[in-house]
Chains A and B, each alone.
Chain A
C-alpha cells in the first residue's frame, strides 16, 4: 500500500516542477552565500 502510494507520488509529473525549482532556488542561495 505504502509502496504503491510512493510510486504514485514519485511518478506524478506535476511533482517535478516544484522539486526542480526548489533545487534551483537552493542552489542560487548557496551561490549568494
Chain B
C-alpha cells in the first residue's frame, strides 16, 4: 500500500474518533430532558414517546443535510440494505425492552455492566465478519481490546457507585441477568448491519431513515403486547402529552449522538467506534451530578469510585483513539468491502470512494426536493406544538453547570459537524 492511502486512512481515523467522542457527548445529553419527565408512566409508553421523537429527527436531519433525493437515490442503489436496516431497528427495540425487565429484576447497577458488554460483542462481529483488527498486530489488539475493557469496567464502576443496590434479591434475578446479557448481545449484533451498510458505500443518513421504521414498528408492537393492546397503549400514551416535548427533545439529541456513532462506525469500524461512543455514560454522569445534583448524598467512597471509573473510561478512550489501523488492517477491510461488492453487484469504485468519504456527485446533484422544506417545517411545527403547555417535574437545576455542559455539547456538535462537512460533505 502506498503512503497516500495510509495518510488518508489516518485522517479518516481522526475523523472517526472525533465522531465517536461526539456521539458519547450527545447520547449522554439525551438523558437530560428525560429527567424532567414525571415518574409513574409505564416504561413502554416513555420509550414510545422517545422513539416517536427519534422518528421525526431521523427524517428531518437527513433531509436538512443532504435532501430526500440524495437519500432515495442512495437507497435505490443498495436496496438490499433496507432489510438490514429494518432488522437493526428491530434489534434495538427488543434490546431496549429487555433492559426494562433487567432493571426491574436486578437493578441498574447489575444490569448496566451486563448489557454494556455490547461493545465487546460488536468487536467480535467486526473481527469475524468485517475483518476488523486483522493484521493490526499485538499492539493494535492490546489498545482496542484493552481500551474497550477499560471503558466497560469504568462504566460498570460508575453504575455501581451511582445506583442504589436492591435491598432484596428477587426470585427472578436469573431472568433479569439473562435479559441484561441478551440486551447486550442484541445491541452488539445491531452493529453488524451498521458496518455492512458502510462497507457497501451507504451514507449513514440514508441508513437511519430506514432503521427508524424497524425501531418504531417493533416498539409499537412490543408496547401493544406488554400494555395489553394498541388501544391501551395509546390511551396511556395520551397521558404523556404534558411531558411529550421532553421525550421528543431527548429523542432529537439521541439522533444527533446516534448519527455521530454511525459515522464513527463508518470511518473507524465498529470495534473502535462503538466503545468510543459508549463514553456517553461519562456525560450522563456529568449531567446528573453537576446539573441535577443527583449525587449530593454520595459517600466519600462512592465519590472515589466515580472518579476512578471516569478516569478508567478516559484512559480506555485514549487507548482506542491512538489505535490507528495499519496498512495491513486497511487491506483486510478492503477484502470485506470486496465481498459485498461481488455479492450484491455494487460498483467497486463508487464504494471505495464512499469509504474514503468522497461525495457521490451524481446523487448530490439532484439531492434537494421542494418537499424537504415541508418535512423541516412539519418537524419544527411538531416541536412547537408539543412545547405548548408542556410542564416538567419541578426539579432544582444548577444553571451555571447546565450552561457549561450545553456549551460543551454544542462545541462537540460544531467541531464534529465541521470536520464531517469539510472532509466528507456528510458522506
Among residues 1 to 33 in chain A, which have CB atoms less than 8 Å away from a CB atom of chain B? 5, 8-9, 12, 14-15, 17-19, 21-22, 24-26, 28-29, 31-33
- Cα A12 to Cα B192 with chains together (Å): 13
Say whether, besides A12-B343, A18-B192, A29 and B83 are in contact (CB < 8 Å): no
- Cα A20 to Cα B98 with chains together (Å): 16
Determine the main DSSP class of B at the interface with A: helix
- Cα A17 to Cα B189 with chains together (Å): 8
Determine the main DSSP class of A at the interface with B: helix
- Cα A33 to Cα B101 with chains together (Å): 9
Most B-side CB within 10 Å, residue of A5, A15, A29 = A29
Find the A residue at minimum CB distance from B87.
Answer: A18
Specify which of B90, B101, B178 is in contact with A22 (CB 8 Å cutoff): B90
- Cα A15 to Cα B125 with chains together (Å): 12
Pair A28/B190 contact, Cβ less than 8 Å:
no
Say whether, besides A18-B192, A22-B90, A29 and B98 are in contact (CB < 8 Å): yes
Pair B178/A25 contact, Cβ less than 8 Å:
no
- Cα A20 to Cα B90 with chains together (Å): 12
Pair B80/A22 contact, Cβ less than 8 Å:
no
For residue B196, CB closer than 8 A to chain A, the reply is yes
Contact with A along B101-144 (1 / 0, CB 8 A): 10000000000000000000000010001000000000000000
Pair A9/B186 contact, Cβ less than 8 Å:
no
Task: Give the residues in chain A near B408, CB-CB below 8 Å.
Answer: none
Pair B87/A19 contact, Cβ less than 8 Å:
yes
Pair B343/A25 contact, Cβ less than 8 Å:
no
Say whether, besides A17-B192, A32-B101, A32-B175, A25 and B344 are in contact (CB < 8 Å): no
Task: Give the residues in chain A near B179, CB-CB below 8 Å.
Answer: 28, 32
Task: Give the residues in chain A near B80, CB-CB below 8 Å.
Answer: 5, 8-9
Rounded to whole Å, the gap between the CB of A21 and the closest CB of chain B is 5
- Cα A32 to Cα B94 with chains together (Å): 12
For residue B277, CB closer than 8 A to chain A, the reply is no
Find the A residue at minimum CB distance from B121.
Answer: A21
Pair B83/A9 contact, Cβ less than 8 Å:
yes
Task: Give the residues in chain A near B101, CB-CB below 8 Å.
Answer: 29, 32
Question: What are 23 A-B contacts with C-beta separation under 8 Å?
Answer: A5-B344, A8-B80, A8-B344, A9-B80, A12-B343, A14-B129, A14-B192, A15-B84, A17-B192, A18-B87, A18-B91, A21-B91, A21-B185, A21-B189, A22-B87, A22-B91, A22-B94, A22-B189, A25-B98, A25-B183, A25-B185, A29-B98, A32-B101
Task: Give the residues in chain B near A25, CB-CB below 8 Å.
Answer: 91, 94-95, 98, 182-183, 185-186
Rounded to whole Å, the gap between the CB of A22 and the closest CB of chain B is 6
Task: Give the residues in chain A near B129, CB-CB below 8 Å.
Answer: 14, 17
Find the A residue at minimum CB distance from B193.
Answer: A18
Among residues 76 to 98 in chain B, which have CB atoms less than 8 Å away from a CB atom of chain A? 79-80, 83-84, 87-88, 90-91, 94-95, 97-98
Rounded to whole Å, the gap between the CB of A1 and the closest CB of chain B is 10
Find the B residue at minimum CB distance from A2.
Answer: B79
Contact with A along B191-211 (1 / 0, CB 8 A): 011001000000000000000
A sample of 15 more A-B contacts (CB under 8 A), given A8-B80, A17-B125, is A5-B79, A5-B344, A8-B344, A15-B83, A15-B84, A17-B192, A18-B87, A18-B91, A18-B193, A21-B185, A25-B91, A25-B183, A29-B94, A31-B175, A32-B101
